[in-house]
Amino acid sequence: MTIFEACVGNYNEAVLAAEKGANRIELCDNLMEDGTTPSYGTIKKTVEKLDIPVRVIIRPRGGNFTYTKEELEIMKYDVQLCKDLGDHGVVIGAIKDAKLDKEII
């Protein structure tokens, strides 16, 4: 099966993308900042509404993709929140020393 994933910036865009044929959603907020973790309410409503997989970006802020120890703790809380809400997975971008930061996975 071919995956047609739509990267969206809010609930309404997720619903519209699904109606137009997307069969997976990457749910974000603040796409002008390359995406940040959406609110609890946005995640909950989107997962409840759609019958397709929803993957949530886990990113506590805009800017670069190198995270502090404290930001990684925040991200862990957000991953657990997504799991509790029935999310189908998460999306994490992480770079360390100009390479993929595999240590945080």
Q: What is the pLDDT along the chain (105 residues), one digit of tens a residue?
A: 799 999 999 999 999 999 999 999 999 999 999 999 999 999 999 999 999 999 999 999 999 999 999 999 999 999 999 999 999 999 998 888 888 888 776
| Bridge partners, residue 99, by sequence | 96
Cα–Cα dist 49/59, whole Å: 23
Contact 97, 63 (CB under 8 A): no
Entry pTM: 0.91
CATH architecture group of domain 5-100: Alpha-Beta Barrel (3.20)
Residue 105 has what pLDDT?
65
Helix axes 69-84 and 40-49, enclosed angle (nearest 10): 30
Spatial separation of the C-alpha atoms in residues 30 and 102, rounded to whole Å: 25
